[in-house]
Each structure stands twice: as C-alpha cells, then as structure tokens.
Amino acid sequence: MTSGSPRPVTLSDVAAVAGVSLSTASKALNGSTRISATTRARIEDAARRLDFRPNALAQSFASGRSHTVGVLAHRATSTFSHPVLIGAVLRLGARERAALVYDGDRLDRNRVGESVRQLSARRIDGVLIVGDGHEQRTRSLTADFHAPVVYAYTATDDPDDLCFLPDNLDAGVLATRHLVGLGRTRIAHITAMYESIAVRRRETGFQQVLASSGLTQVGPTRHGSWTEEWGARAIGDLLAEHPDVEAIFCGNDHIAFGVLGVLERRGIRVPDDIALVGVDNWEGVILDQGTRRLTSIDLHLSEIGGRSVDALLDGVMLTGPQYQAPSVVVGATTGC
Amino acid sequence: MTSGSPRPVTLSDVAAVAGVSLSTASKALNGSTRISATTRARIEDAARRLDFRPNALAQSFASGRSHTVGVLAHRATSTFSHPVLIGAVLRLGARERAALVYDGDRLDRNRVGESVRQLSARRIDGVLIVGDGHEQRTRSLTADFHAPVVYAYTATDDPDDLCFLPDNLDAGVLATRHLVGLGRTRIAHITAMYESIAVRRRETGFQQVLASSGLTQVGPTRHGSWTEEWGARAIGDLLAEHPDVEAIFCGNDHIAFGVLGVLERRGIRVPDDIALVGVDNWEGVILDQGTRRLTSIDLHLSEIGGRSVDALLDGVMLTGPQYQAPSVVVGATTGC
DNA sequence: CTGAAAGCGCTTACAG
DNA sequence: CTGAAAGCGCTTACAG
C-alpha cells in the first residue's frame, strides 16, 4: 500500500519537528507527568503528523521488557486444552504481547532447563503454563523461572501457585439446579472414572444440590469413562434398576449423547419422560450453526486462558486456585 | 534453581575470558567462516564455561530481526482452524519464534491498517494468515505488508499467494480407494452443501476413483449439511431407493455417525453389510484413548499450520496453493 | 584472520 | 519542566 519504504520515522525526527530534545520527546510520549501540557501537545502533534511508530525492538532493548510471554503447553495435545491455549494467545495478541509457545516435551524433568534458558535469553515478561485439565496436578515450575508464572487449566503441587481452573463443583451445582428447577425429583448421575478430580467435584456439586433440595439420588453414581459407549451401557443398567428415573446429570456431553441415543431407540421421550444435562458445551464447540440438542454446562475454557493472561500481565497478587464460573446452555433435552 | 540473579553474562565477558575482541567473539559465535578454527574453539569454550546466553533483545535490536511472526487468525473461531493455529504456534516455538496473534476482527477492511502498523512497529519477520478452511476465499492481504505473507487453511483471490490447504480431492480419492480396495462395488456418497468447495473437491475425488475402477455411483450424490441429523435422514432415503448399497463415502465424520446410528438401529451390520468412511478423523481429535469406530480421512490440519510456518521462515519461493496429503485412519466401520 | 569503532533507537538517571 | 549524555548488548562494515 505505502509506496516503497524509506527510512522509518524515529523519535529523533519527532523531537526535531517539535523543537525539543530527544529525552523530552520520549517522556511526553510515554505519559510522564513532569511535562508541560503545551510541550506535550506539540510533541504529540508532531508524532501524529509524522505517523511516528516507536520501534518496538529498540524499546524492548532499552527497557529490558520484551513484551513477550512464554507459554508452556504441558500435555496440551488434548482437545480441551486447545480453547485454553487459543484463548491465551488471542488475549496476549489483544494486549500487544507475543507468545513464545513451547510444546509439552520441553517440560520433561531434564529439559525444563533448556526452556528456562531460552525464555530468560528472551527476557520474557512472564510464563504461562497450560495444562490439560483438572485430572492431574502439575509439578510446580514457579521456582525455575525468574519471571512471574501463572497456571491455566491445571493445578500444581504448590498451594501458593496462581492457577486458573474450571469450576467443576459449580458445574455440578448448575446442572443439578437446572434439573431440580424443572421440577424433576428422581435424578441419577452417570459419569466417568472416580479417579478423576473433575468427576468427583462435579459429583459433589450434584449431591450438594440434592441434599439442599431434600432429594435423594436415584441409585448410586455410575462411574465409567468419558465416552458415548459408557453412557449407552450405563443408561441400560439404570433403566433396568430404576425405570422411574426422571432426569440424569451426565458427567460430560459424550456420555449424555450415549444416553440420548438409547433413550430415543427405546421410544423414551426426552425431555418429557427423562431430562438430560451434560458438561462441556460440546455442540457449542463443534457447531457454528444448527439447532442445539443437548443442554450442557459450558466451563468457559477459553476465558480461563484469557484470564490467566490478564493476571500474568497485570501482576495481580492472587495466590492459589481461581475458579472460572461456568454457565448453563439450554438445548432440547431439558424441557419446561 | 539458580541462586539470585547477578549480572547476566554478556558477549564482552566471553570475549574477555577468551582473550579476543568483542567483534571476533560475535563472529565466532555466529558461524562466520572467516575465523581460525583454534580461535573459534577458544571462544566457544569460553561461552560454554560461562554459560553464555546472548540477549535476544539486543540481538534483535542490532540485527533488525525480531524473531517474531504476526499471526492473523481470520475467522479462526471454528473448531477446525484450532489445530491449524495450534500447529502454527507450536512450530514457531520449536523454531524459537514468538507469535503475535491477532483475532479476526483486525482483518476488517478498515482495521487492517492498524494491524499492519503494529506488526511493522514490531519489525515482524513475516505474517501468517490462518483461515477457516476451504469454504471461502480470503481477500489477499499480501500487498498490505512489507514482510512475507503465507496463508494457512484458506485460499485467496490472488493466484500467486502461497496458501497451504487440505487436499480435499485426495481425501475423496483415498476414501473411495479404500472402499474399492475392500471389494465393494456399489458405493454411494452422502455429503454437505454443494456450495462448499471442500464438498465438491471430495466428490470429484470420489468420482474419479469410481470412473477409473469401472464402477458406477449408487444414486446421485446426496447434498445436505455437515451434521449427524443430515446423515441420518439421507441414509434413510438411500436405503429406500438402493437397498443393495455396499459402502458409503460420507463427506465428514458427523454425517457418518448419523448414518451409522441408523444402520445400527435397523440391524444392518457395519461393515459386513455396509462399509463406511468419513472425513476429519474426528475421533482422533477428541479421543485420547478408546477404540476407534469410524474409518476416516485425516486431513492433517495441524501439519498445515506447521508447514506454513516452515515456508514462511525458510523463505521458500513457492507460489499458489499447496496441498497437504491426507491419510486413511482405519476403524471398525470398514472390514477386510 | 582480528580488532577498534560506529551504530541500531530508544529509556533513564542526572543536572540544570 | 527540559536537555545533554550515558547506556542497553549486540552486529557489522571498515581498517589493518
């Protein structure tokens, strides 16, 4: 668009045009208060006329601040960490920070040192560690870096680390409240393996709401895996033992789809006979268009990435786990 | 780990220890050939002993190369562009480049200028534009930047632009060859809207293989949407008209799952009676573990991101569209 | 092959 | 409030 590219406009050019010294120009443009209003106006005007763009490389070098953040994507191959990672890099971009993203293998015990050196050579402003959910704690890496460290989508073994996490407890609470709010009283829970922290927290939320509503869970919680197959199998058993069940909180959307398929095949009406709620807002993730079938809890994973970045850049003095509030997304599987 | 942080080791320190000048030390460490082997060895040794890490900020400033790439995620909210974007930023990290990632709204006609200015202030090494697939062409932005521009996962209106794209034609070819290779001769095609470039290219690949195998397509191609619902509806019609169909190439995995559900419900054995192939390797994306049901074509989207980065950094002199070879991932829906 | 010197374009004490 | 000057830590012609 611009014709050719002659010498870029420097701060010295601005100073010369404004008739002030280089240092005065610098101060005026960097918002120092110890500048007269008229001088500042003159300098800002000159900068505008010349379309001055400070050379970010020179600024970084002189100030020692790189405007770059290191992002360690620990076990970030999982689909669920993708929104977190993307939420993080987009927020970084929106705040004019570059991301130096390293893949998980850099976090092996023996290779962390290499990442640390690379990042400190870059004079990184901070480090964001992106995990793969709440399944497992990450070893704290905070002490390895000289820059501030924030964790997204994983907890660590150090209770002082600032970690942004989905609120799985509240996910269980919201899902169950939604079903109770529809007037259902005979509610069951089908979910994944008991070993998962996320599973247990969702279940706890479920049981808290039942208790405070004076309801009793229909049958024991059925633990299996995060798959459609498991959902299909579990609903068969559940119906055999408790044909009067009115609603099911499913640990995630895959399980819910497995349940839904079986119910449809057996001619059981959803939500008229049995209402369903899942977790993940999977349809929201994969569908741009189309009608939503499942009611689900959205954990707002990309917002977890975004908030982690904000905390890192704003130097907030929080410590410990921070939970992202989930929300209900209503589909056709829960009725009035 | 390291105790405190005194003054970092500089190149001058290395030069002093090695007993050479600053400029000689610089040349030795930057692989200039006009250096005696013994001097170089001495300098490299000193650098190693001192654990010298060149200050990347100073290097960038002095050389004018930022080691940062601008990434414009154009309409990159779609699930399918996520692997491309993540493939790109991970490759950038692996090659020690930072990514300054801007969200789509920066690409509005009126706002491109702002991104251009921000990126040129950063003395960006190149620009990567990530689109949302092959559905629609992007307006070429190459002329807006002074740095090299590469496009990933989108084509542009300028035939000279270097664009990395999934090979949808070959996806159709591989899928169909796979079915033909299993001995199926009566093969149908259920896919999404005709308006989609991806749909038409997959269909063309399908028909090329049928033709070269001397086969005739079973019924016309059924165009609908990318959803499970459409797959379920289309298979009903197909079976009504052509109960002797032996295999179906589904335009994507969602459609294939819709088809699969109906077949199972009707007691039609898959793959014994009807074999299925989809596209996207969706199960590979969402499952870490578990048995694979669907046979699918993997378009290798994250590799598209990675290759785009390589092309950008290596300054390859390619122009025009570059197609990423897909591959077949076998599941239970196609038998021997 | 090696070194002295200028320079990259800012920021930031420090003096006035 | 304003300015002269040093300095950030490299790279890169240019001389020797």
* Cβ–Cβ < 8 Å for B140, B120: no
Segment A77-118, tens digit of pLDDT: 677 888 999 999 999 999 999 999 998 765 666 677 788 888
Instruction: Assign A286 a pLDDT band (cuts: 50, 70, 90).
Output: low
Q: Which residues contact B190 (CB under 8 A, 6 or more apart)?
A: B221, B222, B224, B230, B231, B234, B235, B238, B248, B249, B250, B251, B255, B259
* Cβ–Cβ < 8 Å for A74, A138: yes
Q: Is B1 helix (H, G, I), strand (E, B) or coil?
A: coil
Q: Is the CB of A136 under 7 A from strand C?
A: no
Instruction: Identify the residue with better confidence: A136 or A272.
Output: A272
Q: Which residues contact A282 (CB under 8 A, 6 or more apart)?
A: A252, A253, A254, A294, A296
pLDDT for res B2:
41
Q: What percent of chain A has pLDDT over 90?
A: 66
Residue A306 has pLDDT above 50, yes or no: yes
DSSP summary character for residue A4: S
pLDDT for res B289:
54
- CA nearest to B140, candidates A90, A1, A93: A1
* Residue where the block lists tokens 């034609």: B169
What is the average per-residue pLDDT within B115-135? 86
Nearest Cβ partner for B55 among A103, A116, A123: A123
> From the CA of B23, how many Å to the C1' of D12?
9
pLDDT for res B186:
97
Q: Do B56 and A93 touch (CB under 8 A)?
A: no
What is the average per-residue pLDDT within B106-132? 82
pLDDT for res B208:
98
Instruction: Identify the residue with better confidence: A283 or A181.
Output: A181
Q: Do B68 and A288 touch (CB under 8 A)?
A: no
Strand partners, A329: A296
User: For residue A141, which residues of chain B lie inside 8 Å, CB to CB?
Assistant: none
Q: Are strands B321-324 and B222-223 parallel, antiparallel or unpaired?
A: unpaired
Residue B286 has pLDDT above 90, yes or no: no
Residue A3 has pLDDT above 60, yes or no: no
Residue B28 has pLDDT above 60, yes or no: yes
Q: What is the DSSP string of B280-302?
A: S-HHHHH-SSS-----EEE--HH
Round to whole Å and give the CA distance between B99 and B73: 11
In A63-92, the residues whose Cβ lies within 8 Å of chain B are 64, 66, 68, 71, 73, 76-79, 82-83, 85-86, 89-90, 92
Instruction: Assign B64 a pLDDT band (cuts: 50, 70, 90).
Output: confident
Residue A215 has pLDDT above 70, yes or no: yes
Q: Is the CB of A36 under 7 A from strand C?
A: no
Q: Are strands B296-298 and B327-329 parallel, antiparallel or unpaired?
A: antiparallel
* Cβ–Cβ < 8 Å for B293, A227: no
Residue A207 has pLDDT above 60, yes or no: yes
* Phi and psi, residue B286, nearest 5°: -95, -20
Residue A133 has pLDDT above 90, yes or no: no
- CA nearest to B70, candidates B141, B133, B136, B164: B141
What is the average per-residue pLDDT within A148-176? 96
pLDDT for res A288:
55
Round to whole Å and give the CA distance between A126 and B285: 30
What one-letter code names the amino acid at B139?
R
Round to whole Å and give the CA distance between A220 and B314: 59
Residue A150 has pLDDT above 90, yes or no: yes
Is some CB atom of chain B closer than 8 A to the CB atom of A316? Answer: no
Q: Is the CB of B22 under 7 A from strand D?
A: yes
Round to whole Å and give the CA distance between B70 and B128: 6
Alpha helices by DSSP H, listed for B51-188, are 56-63, 81-94, 112-121, 168-181
CA B295 to centroid of chain Cα atoms: 21
- Compute chain B's Rg from CA coordinates: 26
pLDDT for res B306:
97
Average pLDDT of chain B? 89
pLDDT for res B212:
97
What is the average per-residue pLDDT within B266-274? 93
Instruction: Identify the residue with better confidence: A287 or A213.
Output: A213
Round to whole Å and give the CA distance between B123 and B64: 7
Round to whole Å and give the CA distance between A225 and B275: 27
pLDDT for res A101:
95
* Cβ–Cβ < 8 Å for B145, B127: yes
Q: What percent of chain B has pLDDT over 70?
A: 92
Residue A264 has pLDDT above 80, yes or no: yes
Query: Token pair of B67, please?
Result: 């080691």
> From the CA of A144, how many Å to the C1' of D7?
30
pLDDT for res B1:
41
Q: Is the CB of A21 under 7 A from strand C?
A: no
> From the CA of B66, how many Å to the C1' of D14?
26
Is some CB atom of chain B closer than 8 A to the CB atom of A4? Answer: no
pLDDT for res A315:
84
What is the average per-residue pLDDT within A23-34? 82
Round to whole Å and give the CA distance between A154 and B295: 33
State which H helix or E strand residue B328 sits in: strand B327-329
- pTM score, whole prediction: 0.91
> From the CA of B42, how many Å to the C1' of D15?
24
Query: Token pair of A62, please?
Result: 């002189």
Segment B199-257, tens digit of pLDDT: 999 999 999 999 999 999 999 999 999 888 899 999 999 999 999 999 999 999 999 99
Instruction: Identify the residue with better confidence: B28 or B190.
Output: B190
DSSP summary character for residue A64: S
pLDDT for res B276:
97
Q: Which residues contact A204 (CB under 8 A, 6 or more apart)?
A: A169, A172
CA B311 to centroid of chain Cα atoms: 12
Query: Token pair of B246, please?
Result: 């032996």
Round to whole Å and give the CA distance between A192 and A224: 4
What is the average per-residue pLDDT within B300-329? 94
pLDDT for res B271:
92
Shortest Cα distance, chain B CAs vs residue A243, angstroms: 22
* Phi and psi, residue A45, nearest 5°: -65, -45
Is some CB atom of chain B closer than 8 A to the CB atom of A109? Answer: no
Query: Token pair of A264, please?
Result: 């449809």
Is some CB atom of chain A closer than 8 A to the CB atom of B147? Answer: no
Instruction: Identify the residue with better confidence: A308 or A288.
Output: A308
pLDDT for res A200:
96
Provide the number of CB pairs (under 8 Å) joining chain A to chain B.
Answer: 129
